[in-house]
Amino acid sequence: MPDLFEVKGAAKVRCFGKEAVLDGLTQPSGTLMGRIAPDEVIFVGQPGTAEALVEDLQGQLAPEGNAALVVDHTDGWTFFSLVGEGVEEVFAREANWKLPESSGAPVFTVGKVCHVAGKLFVRPNRIDIMTGGEVRAHVHESLLHAGHKVGMHEVAAPAVDPIGVGAEGVAVS
């Protein structure tokens, strides 16, 4: 049965710039990375790491001047994690699109979840869902409702490595 938890304060930093420039970014260790658009990439880090992430990425993009932008979006999006066997069953009740398959490394994708825009990291037996903070209560309630049908439990986020990247971090998806 899957578990649900919210990683409060997970660092979320958005970078904007030319496609080739973003392609050349070095993924900071201990982060998840998702390509939202050719000119936008997001890095998600452990809670409390936003400032360092911003600094790192601003440093990498400094040569671009005003042709690149780094924005701390930590407070803008929620980060809910569905973990364990059966997470797809929860997802199937709250999204009408097919999850991409992951062989192990996180796959980043975007689409509506719980009727609102979502950004997701998909791994075997784990789905991390980011949605706008203004709909946090709705998304939380919807996931709980969907999960209730498959015996899901809500638990506290792990104290260590709540975003599930391990000590070494994970490969770019």
Contacts of 120 (CB under 8 A, 6+ apart): 99, 108, 109, 110, 111, 113, 127, 128, 129, 130
The count of residues interacting with another protein (CB under 8 A) is 35
3-state SS assignment for residue 68? coil
Which structure tokens are listed for 116? 């609102």
- Of 133-172, which residues contact another protein (CB under 8 A)? 133-138, 141-142, 145, 149
Per-residue binding string, another protein, 27-66, x by CB under 8 A, is: ------------xx-------------------------x
First to last CA, the chain: 26
Per-residue binding string, another protein, 72-91, x by CB under 8 A, is: xxxxxx-----------x--
110 binds another protein per the rule CB under 8 A: no
Dihedral angle of Cα 137, 142, 143, 146, to the nearest 10 degrees: 160
16 binds another protein per the rule CB under 8 A: yes
Smallest gap from residue 166 Cβ to another protein (A): 26
Stretch that binds another protein, among 53-61, 104-112, 128-136, 154-162 (CB under 8 A): 128-136
Given a contact cutoff of 8 angstroms between Cβ atoms, the answer to whether 152 and 3 are in contact is yes
Which residue lies nearer to another protein by CB, 93 or 169? 93
Q: By CB under 8 A, name the one of 19, 59, 98, 171 that touches another protein.
A: 98
9 binds another protein per the rule CB under 8 A: yes
Count of CB atoms situated within 10 Å of the CB of 166: 9
116 binds another protein per the rule CB under 8 A: yes
